[in-house]
A and B are shown apart, each in its own frame.
Chain A
Amino acid sequence: DQQVKQNSPSLSVQEGRISILNCDYTNSMFDYFLWYKKYPAEGPTFLISISSIKDKNEDGRFTVFLNKSAKHLSLHIVPSQPGDSAVYFCAASARIQGAQKLVFGQGTRLTINP
């Protein structure tokens, strides 16, 4: 049962344009959401996060939007740069049965074309 879903396995965007990566979740107990970026042969690196009490968090070129009623979040990257080409994982966090659970989506491979 996939509690966090990234329905687009890949996305291709022109350099300078906006990249929008989407993520849906099913468990209403999730109260904190994170985006990680992963290059080949490296570990995921933390990018940006948002608490469930907010609907937007911005950090430079990266903005995360949260729509709790729709159980949907998105990551916007603008303007997109070639170095943004990577796999992006959405993750959701909740305290379930006394333990913190960090559940990941399947990832979206973003390619920025020059």
Chain B
Amino acid sequence: NAGVMQNPRHLVRRRGQEARLRCSPMKGHSHVYWYRQLPEEGLKFMVYLQKENIIDESGMPKERFSAEFPKEGPSILRIQQVVRGDSAAYFCASSFSGATNTEAFFGQGTRLTVV
């Protein structure tokens, strides 16, 4: 399997709980991007990571949201104390390099529902 893998595909959390979304990039890719898609809206950039480093987190809310991409293992997007407004589809993408002429390949997304 050479694709970007995200899990879980669907996640239901009660308000106040924590949500953890995982992303395994394509083999050989060391650049990971997280995007959020709210209902009826486009993809909004959240954070860009390269192994063990956060390169750009300008699209991520300052509170409750964090992301990591450890040396070993998948990238994790963590949302603490979830609220109803966090309900969305979260997509992860990976690319081989950080060059601008590089395509990013997306996973199938995690659909988070906060009840």
Contact = CB atoms under 8 A, between A and B. Distances in A.
Interface residues of A, number: 28
B48 A43 contact: no
Contacts of B104: 46, 102
Secondary structure dominating the interface of A? strand
A43 B35 CA distance: 11
**Interface range for B:** 20 to 34
Contact of A45 (B35, B45, B102, B106): B106
Interface string A35-59: 0100001111110010100000000
A43 B100 contact: no
Contact of A101 (B6, B56, B105): B56
A105 B42 CA distance: 6
B18 interface: no
A34 B103 contact: yes
Interface in B1-50: 4, 6, 31, 33, 35, 41-45, 48
A45 to B, nearest CB: 7
A43 B42 contact: no
Interface in B63-115: 91, 93, 95, 98-109, 111
B100 A94 contact: yes
Given A43-B4, A43-B91, A99-B56, A107 B101 contact: no
Contacts of A68: none
A32 B45 contact: no
Given A43-B91, A45-B106, A98-B55, A93 B101 contact: yes
Contacts of A94: 100
B45 to A, nearest CB: 7
Interface of A: 6, 31-32, 34, 36, 41-46, 49, 51, 89, 93-95, 97-107
17 contacts: A34-B103, A42-B108, A43-B6, A43-B108, A43-B109, A44-B43, A49-B101, A89-B43, A94-B100, A95-B99, A98-B55, A100-B99, A100-B100, A101-B48, A102-B33, A106-B42, A107-B42
